[in-house]
Homo-oligomer: A and B are copies of this chain.
Amino acid sequence: MSGRIEGKRVLVTQAADYMGPATEKLFTAEGAHVTTDTTDLTQPGRCEALIESCGEIDILVANLASPNFSGIATAELSDGDWQTSFDMMVHPLHRLCRAVLPQMIDRKRGKIVVFGSAAALKGMKTLATYSAARAAQVGYVQSLGVEVAPYNIQVNLIAQNYVENSVYYPPELQQNEGFKKSLRRQVPLGRLATAEEDALFALFLASEESDFFVGQAIPFSGGWTQ
């Protein structure tokens, strides 16, 4: 335990998915009081009720993920799939921030860490919808970060790719030689990040060490984007 977020009250959303489990584990080990939520944040009023139920929150970890519909040509992507990306990753981000900001503004202190995606920064085929939604998160964080910086609230985003994750990279895929080769070609580091490494970066952004970071989307992708 490094003492960097000891005693802090943390909310991790969509906690069973994406970077939720690794964050919960590390932040708890670091002595934070971690509340995890696994309810459906697309339901009207749910984000607001969640924040309300938590009481004081020092650190909001906005962990929001959706299917990425990779492989479907953009010209064939249905309205339903399109909306899903925004409903799951973009609209809840605003609702969560809107609900938690007043208490952070009152206390003149707070951290919002968003687990986003490097897909927001670099184009990939058949990923236009997901990229659009992830980029919306980046645009939101950049402007909100600037807006609330004077209240000593830091909002930053991890623009990640190639992080271990059983949904995107199931164990059998990770053993596949073709996948390993493609990994060496795509990712300068030549490997996936572990979820724990990712959580360690979130820890940095959640701690006071990141007080000077304002509205940034920082690549975390083994060199895939820089």
With the chains together, A98 CA to B74 CA distance in Å?
7
Main secondary structure of the interface of A (DSSP, over half): helix
* CB-nearest residue of chain B to A2: B2
* CB-nearest residue of chain B to A209: B200
With the chains together, A172 CA to B218 CA distance in Å?
34
The count of chain A contact residues (Cβ–Cβ below 8 Å) is: 79
Residue from A90, A128, A197 having most chain B Cβ neighbours under 10 A: A128
* CB-nearest residue of chain B to A90: B132
With the chains together, A137 CA to B138 CA distance in Å?
12
Q: Is A129 an interface residue (CB 8 A)?
A: yes
A94-107: contact bitstring with B at CB < 8 Å (1 yes, 0 no)?
11011001100100
Given A149-B188, A223-B145: A105 and B75 interface contact (C-beta under 8 Å): yes
Q: Is A178 an interface residue (CB 8 A)?
A: no
User: A139 is contacted by which of B119, B125, B204 (Cβ under 8 Å)?
Assistant: B119
Residue positions of A touching B, CB distance < 8 A: 2-4, 73-77, 79, 82, 86, 90-91, 94-95, 97-98, 101-102, 105, 119-150, 184-185, 188-190, 193, 197-198, 200-201, 203-204, 209, 211-223, 226
